[in-house]
Structure 1
Amino acid sequence: MTVSPHQIRADFSAAMSEMYRKEVPAYGTLVEIVETVNADVLDRDDNALALTPGEDTNRISAERHGAIRLGTAEELAMMGRVFAVMGMEPVGYYDLSVASVPVHSTAFRPIGRDALAENPFRVFTSLLRLELIEDDALRDKAAATLARRQIFTDGAVALTEKAEAEGGLDTADAARFVAEVLETFRWHPEACVDDATFAELIGAHRLIADVVSFKGPHINHLTPRTLDIDAAQAQMVAKGLPAKAIVEGPPRRDCPILLRQTAFKALNEAIRFPVDGGWEEGQHTARFGEIEQRGVALTPKGRALYDSLLAEVRADILPAADGSNAEDYVARLEEGFAAFPDTWRELHDRDLAYFKYGIGQGAATGENLDALLDSGALTISPIIYEDFLPVSAAGIFQSNLGDEARSGNQTASSREAFEAALGKRVTDEFELYEAMRAASYTAALEQLNSSAA
């Protein structure tokens, strides 16, 4: 019997969470904080988030996103094939070079509304841009190091090929597939380079050192979803976790939009460098804990407004990695975003956000959408934003890499080059949200007309 990709994805997400809890114990504390906060939010009488019962709420406790950083086009292409077995496709293209992070990225995730409801596990996947290493000799050394490694086990490759050839995996093979692929994401403290090369790579960029220096793309964070990130942030501080000073993304709002993220600072972990047939002890800082709060997905018009407001704020003030200007930044952010509507109906009516439609208790008093909403014949609920924000992702990286990682000499990356490395097109997220909205509206009208007949 063939196991559905949704079940394989759910099993892999659970296995990843169990592994990461053992590798980074503070992650377990994060999960406990999020579970407590979410239970408090869902116990409230008013559903301020306007979540769709049974769809948006049931998935939250198991929801995770992970992040990995790959070194070569070959690694990215194979990773895409692996994720496809789990029903995850590349959505969105993110150019982080504009924020001085030498990668470009996509998010592998389920794309259908039903698939997201079953398990929304997603992995933000970045590809290193070696051309941004200015030193020719160091760039060649990094490329040679990456060329020598194989980040997938033979079993993972064989089972991926079998799934592709046979249209899926049976129960036993699916379990083996999860176990084999998990090895790609496991932390290995043994470096593939000596300490001198590691120091050179750190000098080029800390993220470059993290990608090049190890045998695989260890998961560098695993992120649970909270319904109140400010409450979760306060609990992180109360429990002694070294939390970021600010929450990345838009300010707190009555009607959450897009994505807000925070994290605790990266761990200082023991590693070992090869030397004279043995090992020399060292330290590496890369992996951290993150939580996120997801709001409504914005339309192109809404996203343009969001981007313009954020750009205005950041032209005035940039958040310092050490948090020294956190209060000033948050105040300026709230001031700037006062121009963004903060009721569900206005967001809907001004076509700033995507919504699902449902049948209400009111009688239909007209045929146009506004009249149906005014009468209560139709209701709206937000379509959850399933993707990422490049400025926020860079902000999370910078909080762990430090201000010294910023530079002004990065060059824009290329979606075409990324897709060529991946071997397939990256789906535009707006197309997916628009399809969800249209399908929901059609279904609601059919149900409304059927009940009136």
Structure 2
Amino acid sequence: MSTAHQPPASNFIHANEIRSRFSRAMSAMYREEVPQYGTLVELVSDINARTLDAQPALRAQMAQSGELERLDVERHGAIRVGTAAELATLRRLFAVMGMEPVGYYDLSVAGVPVHSTAFRPVADAALLANPFRVFTSLLRLELIADAALRDKATAILTQRQIFTPRVLELIAQREADGGLADADADAFVREALETFRWHSTATVDAETYRALQAAHRLVADVVCFRGPHINHLTPRTLDIDAAQAAMPARGMDAKDVVEGPPPRNCPILLRQTSFKALQEAVRFTDDAGAHTARFGEIEQRGVALTRKGRALYDQLLAEVRSMGNAGSAAPNYEDRLAQAFRAFPDTHEALRAQGLAFYRYTLTPTGHAHADSAAAADASLDELLAKGWVQADPITYEDFLPVSAAGIFQSNLGGEEQKQYQAHAAQQAFEAALGARVHDEIALYEAAQQRSIDQVRAVLRGTAVVDAA
């Protein structure tokens, strides 16, 4: 691209701002397409306000850490694509908004024929500005057992173009110039939104739709439409159990159980619930019909776990889910989950001391007042915490849980069956399709925690050195 008309970098709109514009636009579009989503957002807002009023300590902690400001804008979406080319272009599209692929999720282990990543911001400041994330799944066509049906699905997918010509131009322009000016950023948001819009006209006949649906309902959802319509958009609540209980009174058909860990004093990782997917009228190439895919979801985010903490979580969850083969649909699942997780410490002091969770460390006002003392410079982190000179705030888990995602998908695709796939994680194949490596999400949390420790140490060392001189 010629640089003759390239705007100066100072005129470029920051990726955080483009992401915020896109998140707002997607929320408005989804509210229009799925009116119950608007009801869901209102419900979550009410519950969050009540929770913060009832827990002033939580409000103060969230305000101090910067989490409070992001709460009302926080959303995640989810899409499913069918080809490597679609996934690779989505990576470039999300890069315009400062969103990078984080984590690899193999959902085939839970009976869903996709593997996935989450596009999201990774820097601390970007997450505080707007943590918008999109859980993005690639269909694993090789898991369709019927070879003829697999070939037909491949042929259908290769014929579609899910991106507008203009958005492809703007992506290339941003890659060449290093950014987008205001008008181009607005145009990018408008054009990118078209990829995620719902289309009630299918690209296949009713017979093909039914055949693909018989292979797996998600396969039909990916293959039979013009694009990867956003299938849910998720606000963040501070009390998911209250939200789950309140959904029926608002006319929402809630799924039976909350996915993820049980209720705890110290929330960990991620808990999710949803209202069941809507049956929507669609027009096939030869007939009218209906399709079920889009739903409303609520999430509650807790502290990110270390590798040790995650291993314990996975072990306890596996023990519960192995009792029979119905996963979270099994009778008494919630009781068994609560019983198993008694083995998981439930105070932040224990989680931190045992190295099970990640925390962000900052100097308190008292710590700043003592920063010029040799005692502060030489003290261990535990000593600084005990003196009240440093505080530890939980680092929010920004990612997803494959079994929970699969449970949400299964409950909203209308099928009761738990399909079994003789498949394994295929991260290398996924990254080849993506055109990039995915971030190791736990390494990101490790780095965030270490940065905070280094910052505390730098302040203490710097002050002590100046005063000593």
Return the TM-score normalized by structure 1.
0.95
State whether structure 2 residue 128 is matched by structure 1 residue 132. no
**Cα offset, 1:59, TM superposition:** 0.2
Does the CA contact (< 8 Å) of 1:227 and 1:293 recur in 2? yes
* 1:116-145 CA-partner distances (Å, limit 9, x unpaired): 000000000000011111111111111110
Q: Give the corresponding residue for 2:322.
A: 315
Q: How does 1:212-361 map to 2 (within 5 A)?
A: 212-275=223-286, 280-316=287-323, 325=331, 328-360=332-364, 361=366
State whether structure 2 residue 55 is matched by structure 1 residue 57. no
SS of the aligned residue for 1:436 comes to helix
Does the CA contact (< 8 Å) of 1:226 and 1:292 recur in 2? yes
Q: How does 1:13-92 map to 2 (within 5 A)?
A: 13-48=23-58, 50-51=61-62, 53=64, 55-92=66-103
Aligned identity (percent) is 60
Q: How does 1:117-266 map to 2 (within 5 A)?
A: 117-266=128-277
Does the CA contact (< 8 Å) of 1:206 and 1:405 recur in 2? no
Q: For residues 83 and 314 of structure 2, what CA distance do their matches in structure 1 show?
A: 31
Q: For residues 213 and 165 of structure 2, what CA distance do their matches in structure 1 show?
A: 31
Q: For residues 203 and 167 of structure 1, what CA distance do their matches in structure 2 show?
A: 46
Does the CA contact (< 8 Å) of 2:65 and 2:393 recur in 1? no
Q: Give the corresponding residue for 1:432.
A: 444
Q: Give the corresponding residue for 2:117.
A: 106
Aligned CA distance change for structure 1 residues 319 and 402 (closer, same or farther; 3 Å): farther
**Cα offset, 1:353, TM superposition:** 0.3
Between 52-61 and 376-385, report the one with greater CA deviation.
52-61
Does the CA contact (< 8 Å) of 1:5 and 1:85 recur in 2? yes
Q: For residues 128 and 29 of structure 2, what CA distance do their matches in structure 1 show?
A: 24
Q: For residues 378 and 54 of structure 1, what CA distance do their matches in structure 2 show?
A: 13
**Cα offset, 1:398, TM superposition:** 1.1
**Cα offset, 1:208, TM superposition:** 0.1
Q: For residues 63 and 102 of structure 2, what CA distance do their matches in structure 1 show?
A: 23
Aligned CA distance change for structure 1 residues 250 and 287 (closer, same or farther; 3 Å): same
The count of aligned residue pairs is 446
**Cα offset, 1:413, TM superposition:** 3.3
Aligned CA distance change for structure 1 residues 45 and 106 (closer, same or farther; 3 Å): closer
**Cα offset, 1:44, TM superposition:** 2.9
SS of the aligned residue for 1:226 comes to coil
Q: For residues 208 and 215 of structure 1, what CA distance do their matches in structure 2 show?
A: 14
Aligned CA distance change for structure 1 residues 335 and 445 (closer, same or farther; 3 Å): same
Residue of 383, 389, 400 corresponding to 1:371 = 383
Q: For residues 107 and 140 of structure 1, what CA distance do their matches in structure 2 show?
A: 28
Q: For residues 314 and 177 of structure 1, what CA distance do their matches in structure 2 show?
A: 44
Q: For residues 412 and 393 of structure 1, what CA distance do their matches in structure 2 show?
A: 17
State whether structure 2 residue 106 is matched by structure 1 residue 95. yes
Q: For residues 257 and 416 of structure 2, what CA distance do their matches in structure 1 show?
A: 19
SS of the aligned residue for 1:67 comes to strand
Please identify runs of 4+ aligned residues in structure 1 that moved more than 6 A: none
Does the CA contact (< 8 Å) of 2:96 and 2:174 recur in 1? yes
Q: For residues 54 and 345 of structure 1, what CA distance do their matches in structure 2 show?
A: 18
Structure 1 segments unaligned to the other structure (5+ residues): none
Aligned CA distance change for structure 1 residues 408 and 320 (closer, same or farther; 3 Å): closer
Q: Give the corresponding residue for 2:3.
A: none
Q: For residues 222 and 425 of structure 2, what CA distance do their matches in structure 1 show?
A: 18
**Cα offset, 1:60, TM superposition:** 0.6
* 1:16-38 CA-partner distances (Å, limit 9, x unpaired): 00000000000001100111111
Does the CA contact (< 8 Å) of 2:108 and 2:421 recur in 1? no
CA RMSD, 1 decimal: 1.6
Between 166-175 and 230-239, report the one with greater CA deviation.
230-239
Q: For residues 106 and 414 of structure 2, what CA distance do their matches in structure 1 show?
A: 19
Aligned CA distance change for structure 1 residues 93 and 201 (closer, same or farther; 3 Å): same
Q: For residues 120 and 81 of structure 2, what CA distance do their matches in structure 1 show?
A: 17
Aligned partner letter, 2:113: P
Does the CA contact (< 8 Å) of 1:100 and 1:410 recur in 2? no
* 1:67-119 CA-partner distances (Å, limit 9, x unpaired): 00000000000000000000000000000011110000000000000000000
SS of the aligned residue for 2:419 comes to coil
Q: For residues 20 and 413 of structure 1, what CA distance do their matches in structure 2 show?
A: 32
